[in-house]
Amino acid sequence: MGIADLDGNKLLDVYAQIASIPVGYNNPHLKEVAQSPEMITSLINRPALGNFPSADWSHILKTGILRAAPKGLDQVFTAMAGSDANETAYKAAFMYYRQLQRGGPEVEFTAEELESTMNNKGPGSPQLSILSFKSAFHGRLFGSLSTTRSKPIHKLDIPAFDWPQATFPQLKYPLEEHVQENAAEEKRCLEEVERLIKEFHNPVAAVMVEPIQSEGGDNHASPAFFQGLRDITKRNKVLFIVDEVQTGVGATGKFWAHDHWNLSSPPDMVTFSKKAQTAGYYFGNPALRPNKPYRQFNTWMGDPSRALIFRGIIEEVERLNLVENTRTTGDYLYAGLESLAQKYPEHFQNLRGKNQGTFIAWDTPKRDEFLVKAKTVGVNIGGSGAQAVRLRPMLVFQKHHADILLESLEKIVKLV
C-alpha cells in the first residue's frame, strides 16, 4: 500500500515516486500481471510496434489503454514517457495545422517543402509554435522544454524554440473570498491567450495546458477558465491539448482531471504518463492521424510490458473503486488540513485542491526545511514551485492514512 516498510520502520509515502505509483507498492494483482505469459513474451520479444505489432496488441490496447480513454477521444498514440508523449502530440498538431493550411490530407507536399525541410528551413520545417503558460511543466526534451516555464534550472544552457507563453491565472485563496478578483484574473489571462494566438510572430498550432500546474507550484484555475480556452482555441482553429501526465489516472477524484470541467467539446488531445506507467496521447479526430506512413513513427512506439501494467492498474482502480476512494479520502483530508490551517495559519497558506481528490497543496514559508523534517517523522512528501508542499498519495490512500499524515504534519510544523 502507500506505506513502505524500511527495516521495520514504517514510512508514509505521499510523494509516490513523483506521483507515479497508483495502486500501491507490491500490489498483488500487478504481481500476477508481471508473472503472466503475456508479460514474459513482451519483455523478451519486444516488438517494433509500428511495423510488427504482436497479434494481441490491438486486444491489449482495447482492454487497457483505450478502456481508460477520455470521453470523445477513442484513439491513442503510444509513447514511452511524459516528454515524448507531449512532443509527439505537438508533432501531430503541427502536421494537422499545415494540412489545414494546405487544403487537406490529399494535397501533396511541394518540391520547395521537400527541399527546405532537409535544411531545417521553412516552408518544409515551418516556424510554427505551441503556446504554453508561465510556470508550466511539460517535460525536458527540446520541444517539450520549450513549453516548460517552471524554473530556470530546468532550461538553462539548452537551445529553445521561440514560442509564446501566456500568464496562468494566479488565484487568491480562499477562493470563496476572492470570487470577483479571481474571475477578473482568469478573464485577463484568457484575453492574453487570444491576443497571442492572433499576434504572435510564429503562428500558434496548439495551446498546451495542465489542469493543475503540478511542478510549477500546484496552480489551479476554474472550469470556466478551461472552457474559455476550449472556446478560444476552437474559434481560432488552434488545437487544445491537455497535459494530464501528473493529474491523470484518478488522483483528482475523477479519472481525468479535465472531467471536472464539463467542456462543451472534448480537448483535441490528452497526454498521459506517470500513474499510467506508460505514456502517449489520446485523440478523437481521425484527421489527427498523419496522412502518410512513417510521419509519426519510431522503433518501439511504446512498450507492451508497460501497457500490460496499465491494464492491470485500470482493473485495480475499477475493482476497488479507487477514483471514488480518492474523492472521499481527499475531501476528508482537505477538511483536516483546513483545521490545521486555522491552527497554524503561518505554516499552511493558500490551501488548495478542494474537491480535487487528494491533489492538495499549500504554501509554507520554510518549505525546503519542511520537506526535510517530514522524513524525520516518517513521511515522504514533495514540493512544487518555490513555496508549495504538494500531496501526491497513491489512489489506495485511505482515511486512516490521512489521519497519520495529519498527525505527522502537526509534528513537522513544530520542528521547522
Positions 162 through 181 that interact with a copy of itself (CB under 8 A): 162-163, 165
What amino acid positions are annotated as catalytic residues?
A: 137, 243, 274, 299
Single-letter residue type at 142: F
Distance from chain centroid for Cα 270: 9
Residue 27 contacts a copy of itself per CB under 8 A: yes
CB atoms within 10 A of CB 389: 23
Question: Which of 1, 25, 170, 338 is the binder for a copy of itself (CB under 8 A)?
Answer: 25
Residue 274 contacts a copy of itself per CB under 8 A: yes
In DSSP notation, 223-276 reads HHHHHHHHHHHHHTT-EEEEE-TTTTTTTTSSSSGGGGG--SS--SEEEE-GGG
> 24 to each of 20, 88, 97, 250, how far by Cα in Å?
10, 30, 41, 13
Residue 82 contacts a copy of itself per CB under 8 A: yes
Question: Which of 2, 61, 68, 84 is the binder for a copy of itself (CB under 8 A)?
Answer: 84
Query: Which range binds a copy of itself by CB under 8 A, 35-43, 63-71, 190-198, 344-352?
Result: 35-43
Q: What are phi and psi of 115, to 5 degrees?
A: -80, -45
Task: For the CB of residue 34, give the shortest distance to a copy of itself in the complex, in Å.
Answer: 4
Residue 95 contacts a copy of itself per CB under 8 A: yes
Query: Which range binds a copy of itself by CB under 8 A, 108-116, 189-197, 218-226, 336-344?
Result: 108-116
Residue 106 contacts a copy of itself per CB under 8 A: no
Residue 26 contacts a copy of itself per CB under 8 A: yes
The one-character DSSP state at 287 is: G
Which of the residues 278 through 297 are near a copy of itself (CB under 8 A)? 292, 294-295, 297
> 3-class SS at 361?
strand
> 3-class SS at 301?
coil
Among residues 93 and 263, whose Cβ is nearest to a copy of itself? 93
Query: Which range binds a copy of itself by CB under 8 A, 19-27, 63-71, 176-184, 407-415?
Result: 19-27
Task: For the CB of residue 228, give the shortest distance to a copy of itself in the complex, in Å.
Answer: 24
Residue 104 contacts a copy of itself per CB under 8 A: no
Q: Pull the grid cell for residue 37.
A: 505469459
Among residues 17 and 355, whose Cβ is nearest to a copy of itself? 17
Which of the residues 301 through 330 are near a copy of itself (CB under 8 A)? 303, 305-306, 309
Residue 71 CB partners (closer than 8 Å, separation 6+):
259, 266
Q: Is the peptide bond before 47 cis (omega within 30 degrees of 0)?
A: no
Which of the residues 374 through 403 are near a copy of itself (CB under 8 A)? none
Residue 201 contacts a copy of itself per CB under 8 A: no
Site string for a copy of itself, 136-165 (x = CB under 8 A): ---xxxxxx-x--x-xxxxxxxxxxxxx-x
Residue 2 contacts a copy of itself per CB under 8 A: no
Radius of gyration of the chain (CA): 22
Quick one: angle between helices 304-319 and 322-343, nearest 10?
Answer: 70
Residue 20 contacts a copy of itself per CB under 8 A: yes
Task: For the CB of residue 174, give the shortest distance to a copy of itself in the complex, in Å.
Answer: 29
Residue 9 contacts a copy of itself per CB under 8 A: no
**Element housing 390 (H / E):** strand 388-390
Q: Pull the grid cell for residue 163.
A: 514560442
Question: Which of 68, 69, 128, 229 is the binder for a copy of itself (CB under 8 A)?
Answer: 128
- Whether the CB-CB separation of 49 and 300 falls below 8 Å is answered with yes
In DSSP notation, 362-373 reads EE-TTHHHHHHH
